[in-house]
Amino acid sequence: MPYTPHDPRAPRIALVGATGAVGETLIRLIEDRAFRYREIHLLASPRSSGRTLHVDGVAHPVSPVDTFDFADADLAFFSAGTDVSRKWAPEAAARGALVIDNTNAFRMDPRTPLVVPQVNADLLARRPASGIVANPNCSTIPLVRLLRPVEDRWGLRKVVVSTYQAASGRGHSGTAELREATRAALADPADAGPQAEFRPTLAFNVVPFIDELLDSGFTMEEQKMLQESRKILDLPHLDVTTTCVRVPVLNSHSEAAWVECDDSVDRAELVARLGALPEVTVHDREVPGAFPTPRTVTEADHVHVGRVRVSPHDPRGFWLWVVADNLRIGAALNALQIAEELVARGTL
């Protein structure tokens, strides 16, 4: 039973951004994975407060974050946007809560570990100096989970990635806009529909531009993948270059990754090593060329890999096609697995 009100070892949880796409996914995962807690406080902006959400069959009101005393929480999940995290996560940490933050606010802070439990869980053995553990970007998480065993076996020289990111990366408003814009375009091809979240329209379109443009010509989303991969893998000079593209898919991000290694790679060994990873499904183990897609994958908590191709011209390089649920693996699941690891290690 995850709800254990009389167990002092079970943490008191605050969930900031409870009404958003990631927050609601986190609630479902807390239920599905039977994460034990003795209290749960659902928080959101004043605009979203006042609603009632159910956790483990119990109704909980959604309260405004600016009225909550974080001294009443042992663990605080933040999924309400970078500005909210910058304002309230340090306050929560100062009041004694251990924060797991799902935004870009603290990922590159040297006092804050950036954690994917399958890669660098050892960083959770002690409470961070900032009181915050950062959750990486939704496209970085599945990539580094696959790169870790490659680095350990063959060494990494370069990674070139194109991402194909779903509308749910913009939350409920992103998926709602894609649905509405698609209906509008089907009724009238000249009607672009709403463009509040995606400009130009995402309906029947692909947009090679996510987040703000930097002076380098890359976007912030592309820079995140470079910086975060280096930090998580502890490879400060790893060459990672990315093009991030928004596509008209409701949920689950896809990636095409070209990886160059120090030594020659044997495809059979590569497939075996990737297939042995926890919560990873390699689709072409038995059928070379098989591949996953956002519509066809059935295990939402696995990283799905296909089209594993070692270059015949230079076997130090290979391609991977990767699909992962960005709301679960890329956000809420990774955050909850951080919490599970903190509890298991006695850090919380």
Q: What is the pLDDT of residues 43-83, one digit of tens each?
A: 998 877 779 999 999 999 999 999 999 999 999 999 999 99
* pLDDT the model gives residue 310: 97
Q: In terms of residue numbers, what domain contains 62?
A: 12-136+331-344
Does 326 show up as a binding residue in the annotation?
yes
Q: Confirm whether 93 is domain-assigned.
A: yes
Give pLDDT, residue 164: 98
Domain count, the chain: 2
Torsion of CA 184, 187, 190, 196, to 10 degrees: 0
Does residue 168 have a known ligand-binding role?
yes
32 and 64 belong to one structural domain: yes
pLDDT at residue 48, rounded to an integer: 78
Tokens at residue 221, please?
Answer: 């989303």
> What pLDDT digit, counting tens, does each position of 268-305 carry?
999 999 999 999 999 998 888 899 999 999 999 999 99
Q: How confident is the model at residue 1, as a pLDDT?
A: 65
Q: What percent of the chain has pLDDT over 70?
A: 100
Any binding-site annotation on 47? yes
Is there a domain that residue 306 lies in? yes
pLDDT at site 301 = 97
252 assigned binding-site residue: no
In a domain, 56, yes or no: yes
At 286 the pLDDT is 81
The reply to whether 225 falls in a domain is yes
Clarify whether residues 151 and 280 are in a common domain.
Answer: yes
Residues 261 and 120 in one domain: no
Is a pLDDT exceeding 80 seen at residue 5?
Answer: no
Q: Are 270 and 210 in a shared domain?
A: yes
Is 260 inside any structural domain?
yes
Give the pLDDT of residue 256.
98
Q: Does residue 138 carry a catalytic annotation?
A: yes
- Which of 253, 283, 302, 304 is the catalytic position? 253
Q: Is 107 annotated as a binding residue?
A: yes
Residue 345's identity, in one-letter code, is R
Q: Is 165 annotated as a binding residue?
A: yes
Residue 14: strand pairing partners: 41, 76
Does residue 248 lie in a domain region?
A: yes
Q: Are residues 219 and 284 both part of a single domain?
A: yes
Give mean pLDDT, residues 248-256.
Answer: 98
The average pLDDT across 307-321 equals 97
pTM score of the predicted model:
0.95
Question: Does residue 39 lie in a domain region?
Answer: yes
d(CA 75, CA 72): 9
State which amino acid sits at residue 42: L
The pLDDT value given to residue 45: 83
Same domain, 130 and 144: no
78 lies in the same domain as 110 = yes
Tell me, rounded to whole angstroms, the distance of Cα 99 from its chain centroid: 16
Which is catalytic among the residues 138, 244, 261, 304?
138
Tens digits of per-residue pLDDT, 80-92?
Answer: 999 999 999 999 9
Q: Is 21 labelled as part of a ligand binding site?
A: yes
Average pLDDT of the segment spanning 231-256: 98
Average model confidence (pLDDT) across the chain: 96
